[in-house]
Chains A and B, each alone.
Chain A
């Protein structure tokens, strides 16, 4: 079973809406307070990246419940400038040094896994998952 909802990120307040969506879904799936906070923070970082660097994009939250696993999938999509060097943005200390916050490596650690697809000039899709243990 998969439930999918999404929030469009245009203004800073949409970040709050995306957080709320993520927290509600995480709670509904049975995540504890700490993991709820982690998932919400990850969504917050991804939404902020859209707001600050791509100006428009979407955060989708999927709640996946099957016999073998329960997990939250967060998909952040934007039509921004794209990431030239994905390996570089995944290096620790690269984005945080400029005071931009946790950066993508931080998001990666908050979740279980993360995949980045980006085409320069077309945009970026980041898919991050966290399983309920």
Chain B
């Protein structure tokens, strides 16, 4: 193969030596593509050139040979760097393949289905900034009596965050009938994470449970972004703050229980800090942006409202969100 390439190279070089046109240079560059494709290393290219020159101008070689041999010696290291680069590219392709599989597994594993209930309008949007989502939303409900929602955010992103999140999910699923008490839920999940996850991994969670028949929304928070309650009667927003340490820090953390009464047309907005942190625009108050958008659009469906919020905030941040973005909206 090398012999064949050598004679092709010799022909191209000799054409160029007798006629120095752009066309001949173009032919040479196309030939380079072949060399690269066939994995010919730089030192081999210099050698091919040396041999071609030797055939075209035999009398020159006596003087020039040492210089070419010198260049071959220099090029051996470039050749090594080149091969290493190629092998790293291959490794990267393998990683990307694994990542793709992991992403698909995560999508299946952590798929959130938004319940369709007749007495409450529920909307949700969750957009990861990277391939894997560090935010997760979990709904638990019992016909038209109770609806619970957990909005979580793992400190950290990517694969480690996703692995940790699967644990949160299975923790939530084992709750069975205990899901109606937000502070108890957080205590249980905190113990699961504290025991099972690396010390550097923390999770924040807002957990709310709506008693649909009595319109009581109870909630607790583990270091999570406070939710917002829009009271239609007062035309005002209230921040749903609750005391509690991030999950996974201490094994015996306690989480305060709080409740509010939801009236007709009230809205509850739960979100992760990806929604409220405007890193690119710290001159803006994110909560004001969110509340005014909700007031302006309070008559659209909860899902539509989520989509509007995402579009608006993405625009404000110049389409460069810096964190996973998750909003859940309940409308009575």
The chain A residues found within 8 Å of chain B, CB to CB, are 32-34, 37-38, 40-41, 92-93, 96, 102, 105-106, 109-110
Contacts and interface: CB of A to CB of B under 8 A. Distances in A.
Nearest to A105: B84
A37 B83 contact: no
In this complex, the member of A37, A96, A106 whose beta carbon has the largest number of chain B beta carbons within 10 angstroms is A37
B84 A37 contact: no
Interface of B: 43-44, 47, 50, 69, 72-73, 76-77, 80-81, 83-84, 87-88, 91
Contacts, number: 43
What are the 3 tightest A-B residue pairs by CB atom distance, in nearest-first order?
Answer: A106-B80, A102-B80, A41-B76
B76 A92 contact: no
A92 B47 contact: no
20 contacts: A32-B47, A33-B47, A33-B72, A34-B72, A37-B43, A37-B72, A37-B73, A37-B76, A38-B43, A38-B76, A40-B73, A41-B73, A92-B91, A93-B84, A93-B88, A102-B84, A105-B87, A106-B84, A109-B80, A110-B76
A85 B110 CA distance: 37
A96 B73 contact: no
Contacts of B50: 33
Contacts of B69: 33, 37
A109 B236 CA distance: 70
Nearest to B69: A33
A37 B239 CA distance: 73
Given A41-B76, A92-B91, A110-B76, A34 B84 contact: no
Nearest to A38: B76
Contact of A41 (B80, B84, B88, B91): B80
Contact of A92 (B44, B77, B84): B84
Contacts of A40: 73
Given A33-B69, A110-B80, 18 more contacts: A32-B47, A33-B72, A34-B43, A37-B69, A37-B72, A37-B73, A37-B76, A38-B43, A38-B76, A41-B77, A41-B80, A92-B87, A92-B91, A96-B84, A102-B77, A102-B80, A109-B80, A109-B84
